[in-house]
Amino acid sequence: MHLSIKNLYKTFDDFVALDRITLDVGPRDFVCLLGPSGCGKTTLLRIIAGLLPFDGGMLTLGEKDLATLPAKERGFGIVFQSYSLFPNMTVAENVGYGLRVRKEPAARIAARVAELLELIKLPHLAERYPHQLSGGQQQRVAIARALAVDPSLLLLDEPLSALDARVRVAMRSEIRQVQRRLGIPTIMVTHDQEEALTLADKVVCMNHGRIEQIGTPQEIYARPRTRFVADFVGISNLLPADWVRDVLPELAGQCPEGDTKARELCLRPEDIKVTADGAGEGRVTEVNFLGNLTRLNVQWKGRELVAEYNGFGAPEVGESVSLSVTPSAGAWVRA
């Protein structure tokens, strides 16, 4: 089923929380809503879920107009940021909750619960209560509960944000595997760019209630269209067009193709390579060892650039270095 959002508009009093949001979610898509705190991610998710009304635009699922359809008739699975398990129910009872509400036969509920606990790899914890589980286990149960009713759409609002870094990464790939296996269209909110880039088929970059760019993770990273996207996703050198035209041909041999409205060039650190020859025009101002590579700040022709050095023997602060830019690297971005 295809979810279609057209020119969706939402205000809280005179504050515009969502400004003409247009987005399509295909039947097997994993979409991540990515953006800073307060940009409208949860608001958009709650509107899709039917937990919040909207003020303008269209929201349809296949042929169905969702504007007038109450949340419980939408058949969506929802997982919120904070653990929202029922504290007085066991894991198995939590997972089976939606099926009991639907008055499914007990034997079917038991079979479905067993299948889902298998899927989230927690069959041995069926009789525990939420307070006897770790944060990661609780979120897995919340996901199983959302999946129990065979949702036509899975909505996840920062389901991993309360977990520590290692558990997050492990859970991330579990969510992705489950979603692929079941083929359920999924919209997940996150303000973690790494999470969005690793999980999504489609990243929706939001800022101040607007969509700045929609694209594959590769497009968003390599071809950001706005300064906001370039800055929010990954590390970028944002270089004014005049400066680039003056000095960059000398480094790169040529500039990338230009967008006429663009004001700045976004160059990623990996597009600028450092050679420690002790003789170049660059001067190292900061060194960050990252294990597999070293990231350096280099003062070069009046600007501080973030560049990369591969291998051992990275230059130190104060050393003179040469820079080389990958020809045609980078993307022109608008304000």
Ligand X SMILES: Nc1ncnc2c1ncn2[C@@H]1O[C@H](COP(=O)(O)OP(=O)(O)OP(=O)(O)O)[C@@H](O)[C@H]1O
Which of 34, 43, 300, 314 touches ligand X by CB under 6 A?
Answer: 43
Cα distances (angstroms) measured from residue 134 to each of 47, 49, 130, 157: 30, 27, 8, 19
- Partner from Mg ion, ligand X, none binding residue 88, C-beta < 5-8 Å depending on class: none
Q: Per CB under 5 A, does 207 bind Mg ion? A: no
Provide the phi-psi class of 178: left if phi over 0, else alpha when psi is between -120 and 50, else beta: alpha
Measured from the CB atom, the residue of 41 and 295 that comes closer to ligand X is: 41
Q: Are 190 and 196 in contact (CB under 8 A)?
A: yes
Smallest distance from the beta carbon of 231 to ligand X, in angstroms? 17
Measured from the CB atom, the residue of 41 and 140 that comes closer to Mg ion is: 41
- Partner from ligand X, Mg ion, none binding residue 12, C-beta < 5-8 Å depending on class: ligand X
Which of 25, 31, 39, 153 touches ligand X by CB under 6 A?
Answer: 39
Q: Per CB under 6 A, does 55 bind ligand X? A: no
**Of 7-26, which residues contact ligand X (CB under 6 A)?**
12, 15, 17
Measured from the CB atom, the residue of 78 and 262 that comes closer to ligand X is: 78
Dig out the tokens for 254 from the structure.
């040529």
Smallest distance from the beta carbon of 172 to ligand X, in angstroms? 18
Q: Per CB under 6 A, does 171 bind ligand X? A: no
Q: Per CB under 6 A, does 327 bind ligand X? A: no
**Of 187-226, which residues contact ligand X (CB under 6 A)?**
191
Smallest distance from the beta carbon of 13 to ligand X, in angstroms? 7
Which of 8, 10, 40, 42 touches Mg ion by CB under 5 A?
Answer: 42
Q: Per CB under 6 A, does 38 bind ligand X? A: yes
- Partner from ligand X, Mg ion, none binding residue 37, C-beta < 5-8 Å depending on class: ligand X
Smallest distance from the beta carbon of 157 to Mg ion, in angstroms? 6
Smallest distance from the beta carbon of 159 to ligand X, in angstroms? 13
Q: Scanning the structure block, which residue is given the tokens 């009789």?
A: 127
Smallest distance from the beta carbon of 38 to Mg ion, in angstroms? 8
Output the 3-class SS for the chain. CCEEEEEEEEEECCEEEEEEEEEEECCCCEEEEECCCCCCHHHHHHHHHCCCCCCEEEEEECCEEHHHCCHHHHCEEEECCCCCCCCCCCHHHHHHHHHHHCCCCHHHHHHHHHHHHHHCCCHHHCCCCHHHCCHHHHHHHHHHHHHCCCCCEEEEECCCCCCCHHHHHHHHHHHHHHHHHHCCCEEEEECCHHHHHHHCCEEEEEECCEEEEEECHHHHHHCCCEHHHHHHCCCCEEEEHHHHHHHHHHHHCCCCCCCCCCCEEEECHHHEEEECCCCCCEEEEEEEECCCEEEEEEEECCEEEEEEEECCCCCCCCCEEEEEECCCCCEEEEC
Q: Are 325 and 254 in contact (CB under 8 A)?
A: no
Q: Per CB under 6 A, does 31 bind ligand X? A: no
Measured from the CB atom, the residue of 17 and 122 that comes closer to ligand X is: 17
Q: Per CB under 6 A, does 37 bind ligand X? A: yes
Where does this chain touch Mg ion (CB under 5 A) — which range of 37-45, 137-145, 236-244, 251-259? Answer: 37-45
Mask of contacts with ligand X, 240-279, x by CB under 6 A? ----------------------------------------
Question: What is the binding site for ligand X (CB under 6 A)?
Answer: 12, 15, 17, 35, 37-43, 191
